[in-house]
Amino acid sequence: MTAVLTIAVLVLVGIAVWQMTKIFELSQVRAKSANAEVATDEDNRYNGYLMFAFLIFIYGITIFSFWKYGKYILPESSSEHGAEYDSLLLWSFVIIFIVQFITQALLHYYAYKYRGKKGTKALFFADNNTLEFIWTIIPVIVLAGLILWGLYTWTNIMDINEDDDPLIVELYAQQFNWTARYGGADNVLGEANVRLIDIDRANILGLDESDPNASDDVIVKELHLPVGRKVNFKFRSQDVLHSAYMPHFRAQMNCVPGMITEFSFTPTVTTAEMRQRPETIEKVKRTNILRAEKAAMGEPNSDPWEFDYVLLCNKICGKSHYNMQMKIIVETEEEYQAWLEGQQTFNQTMASMQP
Ligand SMILES: [Cu+2]
């Protein structure tokens, strides 16, 4: 931060000196001819070469960014729809990069080629129908293709139905944590309403105690998902807008107070499998080198890190928003069942709270 401020101050001082020099120059009686402000052929040639230099700079910084920061992008998707979503994004980027590569080269080359020369007059060029047609029709076709593909993908991803016996999970957002609720043995969530929240009796999600479906609901602080089974999420928020973001599964949905929003996906890679992937091992290694450095300096949050899927809040919802997260564990059906059976149901929790 100090470095940024120092650089900013230096740049501003530089600009101030430059401006003062200009004012000083303007205030002098001109010794040269009045034409000193008109660009000469040499000036124009110089600026033409600078155009090439700038072109090399933008290509260079693009390649450098890919090389240096490419490793920070999300790993291959861990959900069924994620691959479709990723290829849409990939192709959009490929097209953008090809177009940008060609147009930037043309733009800078022509700026050099048609630089001002003494005695050369600019050609007055009103319009050309063929050219207009070409540069209209190409973007129309490409954009229409991308939009149609995008709409098709979007409809597929947002088609939330109860086919294939999905697991029903509620994700409940509040400042600043997440709670998950499973429907229990019957996979049906009991009715809930924020008005029924009773903190003293540990009814933290406001479940309706008179609803028989609520009795076997399981309320937890860690999200367990069986691999290969579709999950239908139902999101609620207690206070403000939150956004449930599960980056590894390419899933995000707003959590809106007063309504239930939905999203559905099928996890395809277990946490254990994910930890074995070379890119995960590489990332864990990188992170733990940084953490070891922090630990050596006695800084907090420096314990060795292990990969876990994560649910994050992606809507700035208050001062501890940055830390609003929950661990997600994708495991085999047997592991999931064993975990679920070890959890207390809503009825058991309420009973244990009775005086
Ligand atoms: Cu939030």
Give pLDDT tens digits for 226-257.
999 999 999 999 999 999 999 999 999 999 99
Asked if 219 contacts 203 with a C-beta cutoff of 8 angstroms, the reply is no
Domains, the chain, ordered by start:
167-353 (2.60.40.420)
- Measured in Å, residue 244 CA sits from the centre of ligand 1 at 8
Once rounded to an integer, what is the mean pLDDT over residues 29-55? 80
Once rounded to an integer, what is the mean pLDDT over residues 59-88? 92
> Whole-prediction pTM value?
0.78
- Measured in Å, residue 41 CA sits from the centre of ligand 1 at 60
- Give residue-wise pLDDT tens across range 326-350: 999 999 999 999 999 888 888 777 7
End-to-end CA distance of the chain: 55
- Percent pLDDT > 90 in the chain is 63
pLDDT band at 22 (very low <50, low <70, confident <90, very high): confident
- Measured in Å, residue 208 CA sits from the centre of ligand 1 at 25
What Å distances lie between residue 30 and 38, 42, 70, CA to CA?
14, 21, 54
- Measured in Å, residue 320 CA sits from the centre of ligand 1 at 8
Does the structure show a pLDDT above 70 at 35?
no
- Measured in Å, residue 25 CA sits from the centre of ligand 1 at 57
Amino acid at 260: I
Work out the mean pLDDT of the chain and round it to a whole number. Answer: 89
Give the closest residue to 236 by CA, choosing from 270, 213, 259, 206.
259
Amino acid at 232: N
d(C-alpha 248, C-alpha 82), whole Å: 9
- Measured in Å, residue 321 CA sits from the centre of ligand 1 at 5
- Measured in Å, residue 276 CA sits from the centre of ligand 1 at 31
- Measured in Å, residue 262 CA sits from the centre of ligand 1 at 17
Provide the H-helix boundaries in the chain: 2-27, 41-69, 82-113, 129-157, 271-276, 278-296, 333-341, 346-353
- Measured in Å, residue 255 CA sits from the centre of ligand 1 at 9
